[in-house]
Chains A and B, each alone.
Chain A
Amino acid sequence: MQLRVRALETILLEKGYIEPAALDALIDTYETRIGPRNGARVVAKAWVDPDFRTRLFADGTAAIGSLGYGGRSGNHLVALENTASVHNMVVCTLCSCYPWAVLGLPPLWYKSAPYRSRAVAEPRAVLREFGVEVPSDTEIRVWDSTAELRYLVIPMRPAGTDGWSEAALADLVTRDSMIGTGVLARPEAAR
């Protein structure tokens, strides 16, 4: 595969379709600048700022835009709230659609056949493979991203974090909790 990519890259550069700096810029952007820390900041703000929270659930695209996030795979964003009675979980059964603008590029498991085939049919079994046990009376809502809408799960705020700063809260938020395959435990520091 390495040789094959090199052949395609050489042809595209030699024929003048792409400048090499464009490739470096893209790799740098998604390796260092756009990743799950963006989403964690959105989640933490939604926990501490009631006005932002209202705006986020009313118009996710505008709300993340106010924090400087959006654009590619973030033009149409919907935030989903996890509660004691509803657990949301996101998948793309057809390919790998994922909210790049707030979570960066998806992990391999999200794009894999096991996740794509099973998340819609047996989400609880999939969640157990992530070590997540959702109470049996909690409704599981699976969102299959079949269009250009992108979903960001807002996990439940862990207990014991009253009065924590937004930055400290953001550090608690995991990527998987924003896909819905993780939940946030009460932090050690709060025990």
Chain B
Amino acid sequence: MNGAADMGGMHGFGPVEPEPNEPVFHAAWEKSAFALNMAIGVAGVWNLDAFRFARESLPPPQYLNTSYYGLWVVTLENMMLKHGIATREEIDAGRALAPAAMATQPVTAAMVANMVRCGSPYDRAAPAPAKFKVGDKVRARNMHPKTHTRLPRYVRGHAGEVVRIVGCHVFPDSNASGAGEDPHWLYTVRFDGRELWGADSDPTVRVAIEAWEPYLEPA
């Protein structure tokens, strides 16, 4: 979707401001926001792609005016409501008013330790051979789905070169909607800065993205 999260190339946000000796978290509630989202992820009610889609689906003014972990909190709340984990009345009351709607095994410390240690590999068996090879010239499709995609706007319609075949990976565009993993070949594609940003841009810049095969066509 063309949401506020897709920021590459936007103007007007001002300088980058690194913070010396930055702590991992800036407030106690940020720790909770982080840990709750990670832990409920282990419960498997929704996947990471669905969470990202819910976050980028927030109205642009809200997305841009909410802090980083604030976005995690708002998105968690929306997902809990959507999936029947909590009702609006419970959130307003700040406590459970009824037992869990679905039978669930609680996420334990051992389960999250296992999740941190093992992660969640996204590579899958390939249903077909890769269509492109390293060195191929490809063009990012000019597509504007209203659903989840990981093809940033700033590369759409532009030509680049395949520099790596990553493997066959879960396709977020499908996985985010609950339609299944639908794995596709994933490539690293490199673009010349002038192809993306015009003739006046820095000629020494190259920008690479990861792109699934359905995002690409031969150039």
Separation of A3 and B32 alpha carbons in the complex (Å): 11
Indicate if the CB atoms of B26 and A108 lie closer than 8 Å: yes
B38: Cβ under 8 A from any A Cβ = yes
Knowing A3-B94, A76-B123, say if A142 contacts B204 (CB, 8 Å).
no
Give the residues in chain A near B154, CB-CB below 8 Å: 93, 120-121
Give the A interface residue count (CB, 8 A): 80
Across the interface, do A17 and B85 meet the contact criterion of CB distance under 8 Å? Answer: yes
Interface residue stretch chosen among A44-52, A130-138, A162-170: A130-138
B73–A1 CB distance below 8 A: yes
B31: chain A residues at CB < 8 Å are 27, 31
A23 touches B206 (CB 8 A): no
B68 and A123 form a contact (CB under 8 A): no
Q: Which of A1-17 contact B (CB under 8 A)?
A: 1-12, 14-17
Residues on A with beta carbons closer than 8 Å to the beta carbon of B179: none
Instruction: Flag whether A180 is at the interface (Cβ < 8 A).
Output: no
Contact B13 A114 (CB under 8 A): yes
**How many A-B pairs with Cβ below 8 Å?**
274
Q: Which residue of B lies closest to A10 (CB)?
A: B95
Instruction: Determine if B169 and A31 form an interchain contact, defined as CB atoms under 8 angstroms apart.
Output: no
Task: Tell me whether B13 and A130 are in contact (CB under 8 A).
Answer: no
The complex places the Cα of A74 from the Cα of B119 at a distance, in Å, of 7
A18, B43: Cβ atoms under 8 Å? yes
A7-B94 in contact given A108-B26, A120-B207 (Cβ < 8 Å):
yes
B25 touches A147 (CB 8 A): no
B14 contacts partner chain A, Cβ-Cβ < 8 Å = yes
**Complex contact A145–B210 (CB within 8 A):** yes
Q: A15-B96, A114-B13, A147-B210 are in contact. Are A140 and B166 (CB under 8 A)?
A: no
Q: Taking the complex as formed, is B127 at the interface, i.e. its CB lies under 8 A from any CB of chain A? A: no
Taking CB atoms, residues of chain B closer than 8 Å to A74 are: 119
Encoded as 1 (CB less than 8 Å from any A CB) or 0, chain B from 108 to 147 comes to: 1101110111111111000000000000000000000000
Residues on A with C-beta less than 8 A from B205 are: 123-124, 139-140, 142
Q: Tell me whether A187 is interfacial, beta carbon within 8 Å.
A: no
Given A25-B113, A71-B118, A94-B6, verify A117-B91 contact (CB < 8 Å).
no
Q: Which residues of chain A are within 8 angstroms of B164 by Cβ–Cβ distance?
A: 78
Judge if A189 is at the interface, Cβ distance under 8 Å: no
Q: Is B58 an interface residue (CB 8 A)?
A: no
B39 cross-chain contacts in A, Cβ below 8 A: 12, 18, 22-23, 26
Flag if B120 contacts A108 (CB, 8 Å). Answer: no
Within the complex, what minimum Cβ distance (angstroms) separates B22 from chain A?
A: 5
B27 at the interface (CB under 8 A from A): yes
* A/B interface sample: 7 pairs, CB < 8 A: A17-B40, A18-B36, A22-B106, A72-B119, A75-B122, A109-B16, A140-B202
Given contacts A18-B107, A71-B119, A129-B16, 5 further A-B contacts (CB under 8 A): A109-B16, A117-B9, A117-B13, A120-B154, A141-B208
Interface residues of A (CB under 8 A from B): 1-12, 14-19, 21-27, 29-31, 34-35, 70-76, 78, 93-96, 101, 104-105, 107-109, 111-118, 120-124, 126, 129-130, 136-149, 176, 181
Q: Which 7 A-B pairs have the closest CB atoms?
A: A147-B210, A93-B8, A14-B96, A71-B119, A7-B94, A23-B35, A15-B100
**Residues of chain B at the chain A interface (Cβ within 8 Å):** 5-11, 13-19, 22, 24-29, 31-36, 38-40, 42-43, 52, 55-56, 64, 67-70, 73, 76-77, 80, 85-86, 90-96, 99-100, 104, 106-109, 111-113, 115-123, 150-152, 154, 164, 166-167, 169-170, 172, 186, 188, 190, 196-197, 201-202, 204-212
